[in-house]
Chain A
């Protein structure tokens, strides 16, 4: 278990170490031109993409989830309880962006970092794009939510992800990602760690419009499982929608089964089963400013 914890800690720190390797990757950089926009947005429904805006670009993100789609009386979820996240990201270089956001659920404040390790090239010398993403969340609710013996670090949670993407044709891009989530203090029936995989894609149907999807799978791995049986294991999440992107804007509207706007909580706590009809309308708006 100790060895496993060391391994998981290394996984958690991966984005930080990968950024430290920047000099080395610069040397090995292929001179070929990268493919154009495998994804048009930094997010695809509930997951990050390999896309990072060019250096010195400020990005403002509004993410919103309406209530559960029920019937006309709640206007298919639009009158229901909602979740919203407002965030800003800044691209320090073409390969590195950092950001901050605030979310209604748990009054979560998150700090993010994203680093593009490899870019897919047009001549296919590099057939894939590889991006590392990490965030640290701070649950800003009242101390009473954390029970006895409270201390500040009880509020912290982490998410680390490695994303592999390929733009197969001018109209089709697919990405696969592996992630590790950790929450410092959880309910006695829950786990502290979760490894997950996600599949996302974008199929362009016109110059600006695309069909997008995302599927996230929290894995039950016995080696990191703290309970013999899980009382409320997290459900797989699924989302599908429409994306309209331009050089300075991106707009996505979709249905999804995940209402948390923080990936670690989606992977560890999502109780919505899309196969049982637990679906929610949502949208994401991003606006880019170049300096």
Chain B
């Protein structure tokens, strides 16, 4: 049994790199139809970024003002926006679907409009 276990470990040890599957980024990113669905996947529950929970409040109707007023978005240097960096390489990586952070970045680069 130990040799089977050793064999399994030996055979399953690999050195591979992640090759991202690119999500299509809309030509014009809409806050309501492209960004909010990302937050609605589980970000804005009552225990995470819902009303009265940890800022920013990402619930429907509050998310845009919360992000802008809380300076989570930097339209002059979009790559430095807290919203983007926490999704790309910060504490929200485990909760971010691959590619969603690039849609958020495109939205910021387009001026972070409430569209």
Contact yes or no, A187 B13, CB < 8 A: no
* A contact residues around B16 at 8 Å (CB): 154, 184-186
Contact yes or no, B89 A192, CB < 8 A: no
Quick one: closest B residue to A145, CB to CB? B98
Quick one: closest A residue to B96, CB to CB? A145
The digit string for B1-41, where 1 denotes a CB below 8 A from any CB of A, is 01001100110111111111100000000000000000000
Per the 8 Å Cβ criterion, residues 44-95 of A in contact with B are: 67-68, 73-74, 79-81
Please give the distance in Å from B36's CB to the nearest CB on chain A. 20
Contact yes or no, A185 B17, CB < 8 A: yes
Known contacts A105-B94, A144-B98; A153 and B21 CB within 8 A of each other: no
Is B54 in the interface zone, CB < 8 Å from A? yes
* A contact residues around B20 at 8 Å (CB): 147-148
SS class, residues of chain B in contact with chain A: loop
Kindly state the separation between the CA atoms of A80 and B91 in the bound complex, as whole angstroms: 11
Quick one: closest B residue to A74, CB to CB? B54
Partner among A13, A148, A192 whose Cβ is within 8 Å of the Cβ of B10: A13
SS class, residues of chain A in contact with chain B: mixed
Interface band, chain B:
20 to 34
Partner among A104, A148, A158 whose Cβ is within 8 Å of the Cβ of B21: A148
* B contact residues around A192 at 8 Å (CB): 15
Is B82 in the interface zone, CB < 8 Å from A? no
Contact yes or no, A232 B89, CB < 8 A: yes
Contact yes or no, B2 A16, CB < 8 A: yes
The residues of A with any CB-CB pair to B shorter than 8 Å are 9, 12-13, 16-17, 19-20, 67-68, 73-74, 79-81, 104-106, 136, 142, 144-149, 153-154, 156, 158, 182, 184-188, 192, 232, 259, 271
